[in-house]
Amino acid sequence: MDLKAKIRVIEDFPEKGISFKDITPLIKDKEAFGTAVARIVDDLKDKNIDYIAGPEARGFLFGATVAYALGVGFVPVRKPGKLPADTISYEYQLEYGNNILEIHKDAIEKGKRVAIVDDLLATGGTMLAAAKLIESIGGKVVAMEFLIELENLKGREKLSDYYVNSLIKYDR
């Protein structure tokens, strides 16, 4: 199945010069969504994953589904103030300012193998922050999986210490 054909590209959204990749046509199509999840699961099945982590919010869609298919737990990585128990935070740089991600301190046991799953790899900042959070509580990040990769933003370079897989690639 050509998953790229299920992505709606909207130029100049949310602002001029941005080429937005809308995943909603793909996730509403049960066959396309199922195929995308199956391809990620297939790539992870021999990596002895203990947990899938997913950054807010679309990482929840793909991450939880992949975790269920693999028979492993799902760990949310959230924006500040969204998790109810004791958390640890990681602040990171964006192109224009800073952002913060949080994870529960007890989310992942020391030495457990984690794959991070999200819809989009752009600059890699969010994924690197998620990896640093997971590692700070003792998890081992063994894979990063994406539906879409925007190759021109070179996020893969920022994540060069990790195994990275993406299903659909765009040059912009």
Residues 6+ apart with CB under 8 A from 38: 69
Q: Is the pTM of this model over 0.85?
A: yes
Q: Which two tokens stand for residue 98?
A: 């800073």
H-run or E-run covering 148: strand 140-150
CATH for the 49-170 domain, from 3.40.50.11740, 3.30.70.20, 1.10.10.10, 3.40.50.2020: 3.40.50.2020
**51 and 139 in contact (C-beta within 8 Å)?**
yes
d(CA 172, CA 164): 18
% of the chain with per-residue pLDDT over 90: 92
Q: What is the mean pLDDT of the chain?
A: 96
Select which of 8, 11, 31, 58 is catalytic.
58
d(CA 54, CA 5): 24
Angle 151-47-39 from CA coordinates, rounded to 5°: 50
% of the chain with per-residue pLDDT over 70: 99
d(CA 119, CA 166): 9
pLDDT one-digit tens code per residue, 68-98 = 999 999 999 999 999 999 999 999 887 667 8
| pLDDT value of position 98 | 87
Give alpha helix (H) positions in 14-98.
Answer: 24-28, 30-44, 58-70
Give alpha helix (H) positions in 49-102.
Answer: 58-70
Q: Is 56 a catalytic residue?
A: no
Please report, for the chain, the start and end positions of each structural domain, with discontinuous segments joined by +.
Answer: 49-170
pLDDT one-digit tens code per residue, 106-129 = 999 999 999 999 999 999 999 999
Confidence tier at 164 by pLDDT (50, 70, 90): very high
| pLDDT value of position 86 | 97
Select which of 8, 78, 91, 95 is catalytic.
95
Amino acid at 1: M
Q: Which two tokens stand for residue 57?
A: 């919010």
3-class SS at 119? strand
Helix axis angle for 58-70 and 30-44, nearest 10°, is 60
What's the mean pLDDT in 119-146? Answer: 96
Q: Is 95 a catalytic residue?
A: yes
